[in-house]
Amino acid sequence: MARIGIIGSEGRMGQAIASAVAEQGEVLAGGIDKGGDATALSAKCDVLIDFSSPGALEANLDAAVASGTPILVGTTGLEERHQFLLDAAAEKVAVLQTGNTSLGVTLLAHLVRQAASSLGEEWDIEIVETHHRHKVDAPSGTALLLGEAAARGRGVSLDDVSERGRDGMTGERRDGAIGFASLRGGSVAGDHSVSFLSDNERLVLSHMAENRAIFARGALKGAMWLIGRQPGRYAMPQVLGL
Ligand SMILES: NC(=O)C1=CN([C@@H]2O[C@H](COP(=O)(O)OP(=O)(O)OC[C@H]3O[C@@H](n4cnc5c(N)ncnc54)[C@H](OP(=O)(O)O)[C@@H]3O)[C@@H](O)[C@H]2O)C=CC1
Ligand SMILES: O=C(O)C1=N[C@H](C(=O)O)C[C@H](O)C1
């Protein structure tokens, strides 16, 4: 049995992960929230699972590195500087960061990349996500992950083609753009759709999360997979064998 430490343990995801840990018969070694001691938690775990806040990431990675504990980071709203922190930590411990730990979205990203690579630039790409009223970041980590997949399929950089937050006299749509739109309300666990739009037809690939258990089970699976791995950056397709 593995000893699991949860960062953000009282949050919506933290509680769902604790349920998954119990369901799978693993051991919950402890959990922390804001103001908690990540170093002490890390020292008594085989793996850390972090679903907290971007502001907590640096301290959480430092704690993981100090005790040589692998870490799965599900927190979204991360910026470029956070990716540098993740890369640095991955030189010392096994690190998996993803905007979505579900099997369905991991497969969806694969399909989106394939579709973007097969369809020409005359197919516009638009990504729409809907989440519960409590979500604090936009676009969602998943929408960005799907945008990255589409951009990789097209052989372009997402930073160069991304169109976010259209408002007012935007002008016509840029050729080759990948657009994002976010809806917030109610208790939606997470809906994502990627539309490929041409003049004559539309292809829409989508995923709807019915609840948080899918994220929690995927996170636990990823965390268990990290135990005993060499330092490095890992990704969900490796965990799921996709
Ligand atoms: N990758 C994936 O598959 C998924 C990712 N997410 C992401 O996970 C994150 C958490 O989501 P959710 O559970 O809904 O959010 P919540 O707001 O419900 O939970 C966040 C938790 O993190 C804690 N926290 C905040 N700051 C710190 C800190 N500095 N150190 C330790 N703990 C801290 C909060 O504690 P306190 O209340 O004391 O501030 C709270 O308990 C979000 O970024 C979300 O987008 C969500 C679902 C799936
Ligand atoms: O905050 C959430 O709830 C979710 N966040 C992740 C994201 O930003 O994509 C994953 C999931 O959609 C739920």
Q: Which residues contact 77 (CB under 8 A, 6 or more apart)?
A: 53, 54, 136, 137, 141
Contact 46, 28 (CB under 8 A): no
Q: Is 187 exposed, middle or buried (0-12, 13-18, 19+ CB in 10 A)?
A: exposed
Distance CA 10, CA 32 (A): 8
- Looking at the structure, do residues 126 and 66 belong to the same domain, yes or no? no
- Looking at the structure, do residues 172 and 235 belong to the same domain, yes or no? no
At residue 165, the pLDDT reads 87
Q: How many domains does the chain have?
A: 2
Contact 166, 182 (CB under 8 A): no
Contact 115, 205 (CB under 8 A): yes
- What does the pLDDT look like over 82-120, one tens digit per residue? 999 999 999 999 999 999 999 999 999 999 999 999 998
Write out the residue range of the structural domain in which residue 146 sits. Answer: 103-208
- Looking at the structure, do residues 37 and 20 belong to the same domain, yes or no? yes
- Looking at the structure, do residues 116 and 154 belong to the same domain, yes or no? yes
**Is the complex ipTM more than 0.90?**
yes
- The structure tokens listed for 172 are 């016509």
- What does the pLDDT look like over 132-185, one tens digit per residue? 999 999 999 999 999 999 999 999 999 999 999 899 999 999 999 999 999 999
Give the distance (Å) from ligand 1 centre to CA of residue 31.
12
Angle at CA of residue 113, ends 112 and 118, nearest 5°: 95
pLDDT at 209 over 90: yes
Compute the residue count for the chain.
Answer: 242
- Looking at the structure, do residues 52 and 137 belong to the same domain, yes or no? no
- Looking at the structure, do residues 111 and 18 belong to the same domain, yes or no? no
Cα-atom radius of gyration of the chain, to the nearest Å?
A: 18
Atom 40 (ligand 1) nearest CA? 11
- We report the CATH number of the domain holding residue 228 as 3.40.50.720
Which amino acid, residue 192?
Answer: H
Which one of 73, 133, 135 would you pick to mutate in the ligand 2 pocket, going by the greatest count of ligand atoms within 8 A of its CB? 135
pLDDT at 15 over 90: yes
- We report the CATH number of the domain holding residue 186 as 3.30.360.10
Give the distance (Å) from ligand 1 centre to CA of residue 200.
42
- Residue 153 annotated as binding? no
Q: Is the CB of 237 under 6 A from ligand 1?
A: no
Contact 184, 169 (CB under 8 A): no
Give the distance (Å) from ligand 2 centre to CA of residue 190.
6
- Looking at the structure, do residues 76 and 170 belong to the same domain, yes or no? no
- What does the pLDDT look like over 43-97, one tens digit per residue? 999 999 999 999 999 999 999 999 999 999 999 999 999 999 999 999 999 999 9
- Looking at the structure, do residues 155 and 198 belong to the same domain, yes or no? yes
Buried-exposed string 197-208: b where 16+ CB fall within 10 A, e elsewhere: beeeeeeebebe
Q: Is the CB of 115 under 6 A from ligand 1?
A: no
- Looking at the structure, do residues 17 and 64 belong to the same domain, yes or no? yes
- Looking at the structure, do residues 161 and 93 belong to the same domain, yes or no? no
At residue 65, the pLDDT reads 98
Which one of 52, 79, 105, 140 would you pick to mutate in the ligand 2 pocket, going by the greatest count of ligand atoms within 8 A of its CB? 140
- Looking at the structure, do residues 84 and 56 belong to the same domain, yes or no? yes
Distance of CA 203 to the CA centre of its chain: 24
- Looking at the structure, do residues 231 and 160 belong to the same domain, yes or no? no
Q: Which residues contact 216 (CB under 8 A, 6 or more apart)?
A: 13, 16, 17, 19, 20, 101
Contact 7, 41 (CB under 8 A): yes
Active-site positions?
A: 131, 135
At residue 67, the pLDDT reads 98
